[in-house]
Structure 1
Amino acid sequence: MLSRFVSRAILQIVSTRLTIPSIAHRLQSSTSNSKSDRQQTSSTSGIKEIDENESFLNSRDAAQAIADEEIIDSVEQATSDRAEKISQAMKNYLMKSREKQKVLDEKNYEYEIGRRHLARIMGEDPEEFNQEKIDDALSYLLPSGLLDERARPKMRPPEEMYPKEKAVQFDKAGRPFHFLYYTAKHNYYDVLHTVANKIEELKKGEVAMLASGREPDYSQNDEFNYTQWESKEIFEKRFLEKLDDEQYKTLIICLNRLVKNPMAYTIKDYINSFRTKLADTISKQHIEPVKKKDKFSFQKKN
């Protein structure tokens, strides 16, 4: 009886030992299966997340690309509109220049015909009849006692008689060549700007000279007493711009400040470019002396 009980216990122990590894193997296999399932599930979810992220990024890139295209289109549209405006401005300028050139061509044709007729009247060769001979012929055929030279008859080429105009002041992109272009009189304001800068430079030079113990040579400014500023008409021809009396007055005031500076003689070349000699402003007409004939030349011989 005891032996049977012992044998049964041994069999149970052996079976238990055999069962435990199988259970552990099953548990391990089930655990590995669950891990693999989890990994597969996680990988699947990761792939889904990646796909979702990629789709989101793709949609965002597409939206950004659309926005960029809209911006580019707007910029191109603005550029094209600006180009159209610039081209229209250029067309207007070219149209005006062509009209002026057409008038000049007609006047040149008339001048050439008149020059040849005048040469034949004077018995000269039309091909060698220059401007000096034209002036001599007019003074001979149309003598004038008027002292003002502008009132005397004249015959000049149309390029000298018609006022000059400015060339185009901007490039193909519409950018002005001069930084004072939008003042509408950039040549005039450029001179004012330059004069103001030169006044400041002269002040600094005077301070530096006095600091070094020297004094400016004031006597060298005396040469400006023999010249005067050019007239408003001369400045208008120089600037190719119309000036009113107030603008001309402002210009002369600024130039006088420049001349009154003790260091003005250091830039006398610049100052004299706007001045003219007093002797040249007085126009004198050359009058032939009275020719007296001998009183006996009119007597008849017996």
Structure 2
Amino acid sequence: MHFTKGLRGLCMGLQDLRLFYAGQNITFKKVAQAGKTNYSISSRSVSQARSETELTTFEMNKHSQKAKISKAMKAYLQRSVEHDKFMETKITEYEIGKRHLANMMGEDPQTFTQDDINEALKYLMPSGLFEPKARPSMNHPLEDYQKMKEAEFDELGRPYHTLFYTGLPKFFSILQQISFKAQELDSLLYSTGNKPAESKLLSELVMQFRFAATSYLDELAILKDTVVVCNIHGSKLFTKEKLEEKLLEKISDKLYEHLCLSFERLIDHPYSATVGDFIMQYREPVTISLYAEDIPELMYNEKGVPYMTATGLRKKSKAEVTVYGQGSGKFTVNGKDILYFDSIQDREQIMFPLQYTGLLRSVDVEATAEGGGHSGQAGAIRYAISSALKSFVSPSMAEKMRIAGLLTRDARKRERKKPGQRRARAKYTWKKR
């Protein structure tokens, strides 16, 4: 009985083995010897089966790896599909609105451009709002909605970028490139025979003359044969918002300030013109609205020292300021030094235009102020100094001063008391009885 069960199990095993090798295209040969039936397999069939089995196993593992997608990739693919559907809907709505707007204006929808849309909105929906962003507008969805960031990892979750785990790979990649460029420039500077101490002094000279006055340009001729500085006049670094739009990454104020400082150090290098193309990739041109007639020319005294006078007003205060070039940073107010103002805030306020233009230790300032208090006098002196410094700086720097608000008079003053009220805004306590 046990022998019968064992024989039956052996036959079933042979049948399964035959079916398996039949799937692998291996032939069986029947051999009859002395009344026994045996099954033999040729050696060629065995080697062929082994190679095909290994190939099939490799393909199965490969397919299983492709089928196994990381959770990050699944989430990205889901967001990508949702974003594509959203943009498709918005573009369809934009095209329908554009067609209706063209029909209302009697134009051909096929040739109706974005400029035509803006003009049609101005005509159909006139707005007296001063801020352009608050007026009715109709732009293409690709301009109004932020682009979706591309996947930064493969299907198995491995990141493409080496700085992926910093959280801001593109931003830190720029900082890394700045560091590499600075090292290349240092190598170039030392290869010309300059010692490290001389190179440091050269960088300080470049930094000192970056915002030099027109009367100092002759002194820059000494550095012509030594310094090849990148020309950044008429341009400015990308704003934080524009840089975030370009990189598709959210940047903090502290990191943006660090990036600005890194670019300034690279620009102040004596051989920064060598990497000028890299620097200008992250700068944009500045539209200069101050014309030459708005900037008065420098005047010269009997000693040949350039100077400029200006008047400033703030509240009830009035200030007369004279700025002398080729100075050492001397500052006098009504015959006294900067200690004329007791408040540190007032001192910082009148020094800010000089710090902003880089002329703090390059010019002398003589000011006379009258009327009002110390706060009003400080504001009047600040405005007068800014107006006088326009003649000492380049037009691009003057435009930066205008954007920073240094060339705009602060017209605020104390609001008058109203009749029937305690003060300008405060009312008397109302009592019913």
TM-score higher than 0.5: yes
Amino acid at match of 2:183: E
The residue aligned with 1:14 is: none
RMSD: 3.1
Residues 230 and 267 of structure 2 are in contact (CA less than 8 Å); yes or no, is this contact kept in structure 1?
no
Distance across 1 between alignment mates of 2:137 and 2:226:
46
Task: Give the match's secondary structure for 1:221.
Answer: coil
Structure 1 unpaired stretches of 5+: 1-75, 283-302
The residue aligned with 2:253 is: 245
Q: TM-score, normalised by structure 1?
A: 0.60
The one of 248, 252, 266 aligned to 1:258: 266
Higher RCO (C-alpha 8 Å, min separation 6):
1
Q: How does 1:144-155 map to 2 (within 5 A)?
A: 144=127, 148-155=131-138
Q: How does 1:125-164 map to 2 (within 5 A)?
A: 125-144=108-127, 148-164=131-147
Task: State the number of aligned residues.
Answer: 205
Distance across 2 between alignment mates of 1:101 and 1:111:
15
Larger deviation, residues 92-101 vs 137-146: 137-146
Distance across 1 between alignment mates of 2:266 and 2:132:
33
How many percent of aligned residue pairs carry the same amino acid? 38
Distance across 1 between alignment mates of 2:270 and 2:130:
40
Q: CA deviation at 1:146?
A: 5.0
Structure 2 unpaired stretches of 5+: 1-60, 200-222, 290-398, 400-433
The one of 264, 268, 278 aligned to 1:270: 278
Give 1 or 2: higher helix fraction.
1
1:90 maps onto 2:63 in alignment: no
The one of 87, 100, 109 aligned to 1:117: 100
The residue aligned with 2:179 is: 196
Q: CA deviation at 1:220?
A: 4.7
User: Which whole-Å deviations, capped at 9, do the CAs of 1:183-234 have from their partners, x for residues lacking one?
Assistant: 121000100000011011111111112359x977566537324322110011
Give 1 or 2: higher strand fraction.
2
Q: CA deviation at 1:172?
A: 2.7
User: Which whole-Å deviations, capped at 9, do the CAs of 1:15-73 have from their partners, x for residues lacking one?
Assistant: xxxxxxxxxxxxxxxxxxxxxxxxxxxxxxxxxxxxxxxxxxxxxxxxxxxxxxxxxxx
Residues 161 and 169 of structure 2 are in contact (CA less than 8 Å); yes or no, is this contact kept in structure 1?
yes
1:279 maps onto 2:281 in alignment: no
Q: CA deviation at 1:150?
A: 3.2
User: Which whole-Å deviations, capped at 9, do the CAs of 1:157-196 have from their partners, x for residues lacking one?
Assistant: 1111110121111223332211111112100010000001
Q: CA deviation at 1:83?
A: 7.1
Residues 169 and 177 of structure 1 are in contact (CA less than 8 Å); yes or no, is this contact kept in structure 2?
yes
Residues 83 and 173 of structure 1 are in contact (CA less than 8 Å); yes or no, is this contact kept in structure 2?
no
Distance across 2 between alignment mates of 1:156 and 1:135:
9
Residues 107 and 158 of structure 1 are in contact (CA less than 8 Å); yes or no, is this contact kept in structure 2?
yes
1:209 maps onto 2:217 in alignment: no
Amino acid at match of 2:82: E
